[in-house]
Structure 1
Amino acid sequence: MSLSNAVWPDLTRGGTVLVPVGSTEQHGPHLPLDTDTTIARAVADELGPLLGARVAPAVPYGASGEHQAFAGTISIGTEALTSVLVELARSLTVWAAQVVFVNGHGGNLDALEAAVTLLRAEGRHVSWLPCATPGGDLHAGRSETSLMLRLDPTRVRLNLAEAGNTGSLRELLPRLRAGGVAAVSANGVLGDPVGASAAEGEQLLRRMVSDAYDRVRTQVVVV
């Protein structure tokens, strides 16, 4: 059930709430700024019925400082995101038994770890899981382009898709840390979207949901 569409008498105390966590940041010349949020929301929407969980509205802003050189990026940073996640979970666990953050942006990792550590120290049942694509490229490449062709194809400007820096994270990390994405990719792409397809996006989505289910099912509290 989507909490956005619910009225309070629909809801009972207990159970699990999934909170998609994304970002608003550049995704090359061909993908929308809310790509990470769209993917996180899709995974949560698919996962919810499998777990009997409710899905909260997505958090659309994350820690995206590495993309700040590109127009359109809106980053609230790690400290602010940590506070947002903590307060969301504190509020939700007044009536829900468990909160699971479904994360679509790698830059949110530190905030998620900090928030979950603090909340667990308070005795709250909170965890997080990634929308992971093992073996996928780093940013706005074939993986994310395929996922968006599956989820929202009308917003993919495939005619503008072009390769960016295809180096590995290990190769790029020193320059990424020093100067952000702009230091290693003029177009904001880390990978190559050529060959992306909705069919591949469907396969990736299925894998994401399956992996998320395997990660979270042992942690869900049924009340």
Structure 2
Amino acid sequence: MKIYRPRFWSLDSGIDYSAPVIHLNDIVPAVGKKTFAFFDRDDRLEAGATILLIWCPPVSDLNGWSEQPSEIAQSHLLKAHVIGVAQACAHPAPHGERKYELEILSCERLLPALQALPEESTSWNLQGIGSEQGNFLAWDELHWCGRALVEGFTYLTANTSNEAHLELILEESGDELFGLFSVHIDPGGTFHEMGRKQLTGEERRVVERAIKLAHPLQDSQALYLVQ
């Protein structure tokens, strides 16, 4: 089942997002309810399809986890039924994103959901890049890299010299290193992968190198979410 992370979620719920304190339970999409989200123009969701979605709190929804890494712990994994493209908005999205109406079928916190995944060595692979010099992993071509420790998990994010944006959520267990969630964005598209995969060989080498090179990430804004 394909995983999507919407460009942003609709703010039509009546919540005052400028308030100094926001209750998390008031803004997480509720099971059985309908909501709206904006997707890239290239994301052609089919009415009637069931999809997986990553929901992020407001700051990371707008700016990404790298700007507010603590919000990874408050992000959720949703399963949703696609009702269809919403009616034209009075104020169209700035970059032509499509607004879809969704019915939420299930909702759980992202990190516990990732930790509970069974190990599958073939669930996904780090994406490679081909060149005249041969093939190499995108994580071996880092221009900048950041890391944060969130509830015992390591979050890595990076930009490469080949215009790719990369993200990983990792778990260390003894001498073993597991990848749980991977994001690869480049001019060719956006790819989200999920599954408990033990990193070995070349994949482990490039990830461990990235961890050593990465700059520590800090929240860019004061905490504002409460349960």
Output the TM-score relative to the length of structure 2. Answer: 0.26
Q: Which has the higher contact order (CA 8 A, sep 6+)?
A: 1
Please state which structure has a larger fraction of its residues in strand: 2
Would you tell me which structure has more helix in proportion to its own residues?
1
